[in-house]
């Protein structure tokens, strides 16, 4: 299944009006229409099965981070094989993506904008250009806008309107347009509500 590139407001409404900070700037549209999209959405009453609850929680993660189904399966397999809490490890891998780190530092107003910034080659990690959004950053990595006019201009514009405050595991110098990863992201700093055990249960028979 490919990465979703359609209307994000429609997806948020389908997921029950869930608030996913950074996915879109049109959250008020979601809040004004707290019912599923479609002609009969306003009057639709669906009793959710256990499977649907788990599926929606999995889809929430996929749409938020803009990843394909295969990518999420790979993250799950990696988390399941590693030592430690599978759910917390899964969230660590997702939150450590370069595009998400750029967004959490305040270098981009939305996650799609952060992904575009990385894909277009505006970001450097430890002084080297990285244009892969899924690149995993580690504690001690320095992340900066590349020292060229077009990149710095974009960084200055987008960092002027951050969506969230910078979490404690990151630091960011707005004037220099660079930051550093201090520690691994913890579950307590997740900017949205997630029941990751539902995702683990969803994949329990699939991986």
DSSP 132-149: -TTPBP-TT-EEEE-SSH
Domain interval for residue 75: 8-93+192-203
Domain count of the chain?
A: 2
The reported pLDDT for the residue numbered 193 is 84
The pTM of the full predicted model, rounded to 2 decimals, is 0.83
The reported pLDDT for the residue numbered 205 is 76
The reported pLDDT for the residue numbered 38 is 52
**What is the rounded CA–CA span in Å between residue 17 and residue 105?**
25
DSSP state of 83: S
The reported pLDDT for the residue numbered 18 is 65
The reported pLDDT for the residue numbered 150 is 92
Residue stretches of the chain with pLDDT short of 50: 1, 29, 39-41
If asked whether residues 149 and 197 sit together in one domain, one would say no
If asked whether residues 16 and 87 sit together in one domain, one would say yes
Decide if 1 is inside a domain: no
């Amino acid at each position: 299944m490919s990465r979703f590139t359609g209307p994000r407001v429609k997806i948020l409404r389908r997921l029950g009006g869930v608030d996913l900070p950074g996915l879109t700037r049109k959250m008020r549209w979601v809040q004004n229409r707290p019912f599923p999209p479609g002609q009969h959405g306003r009057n639709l009453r669906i009793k959710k099965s256990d499977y649907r609850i788990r599926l929606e929680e999995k889809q929430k993660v996929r749409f938020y981070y803009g990843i394909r189904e295969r990518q999420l399966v790979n993250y799950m397999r990696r988390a399941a094989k590693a030592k430690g809490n599978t759910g917390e490890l899964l969230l660590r891998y997702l939150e450590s993506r370069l595009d998400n780190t750029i967004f959490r530092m305040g270098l981009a107003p939305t996650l799609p904008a952060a992904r575009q910034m990385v894909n277009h080659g505006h970001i450097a990690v430890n002084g080297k250009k990285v244009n892969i959004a899924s690149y995993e950053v580690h504690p001690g990595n320095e992340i900066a806008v590349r020292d060229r006019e077009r990149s710095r201009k974009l960084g200055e514009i987008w960092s002027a309107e951050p969506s969230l405050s910078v979490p404690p595991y990151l630091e960011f110098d707005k004037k220099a347009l660079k930051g550093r990863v201090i520690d691994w992201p913890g579950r307590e700093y997740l900017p949205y509500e997630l029941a990751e055990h539902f995702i683990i249960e969803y994949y329990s028979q699939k991986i």
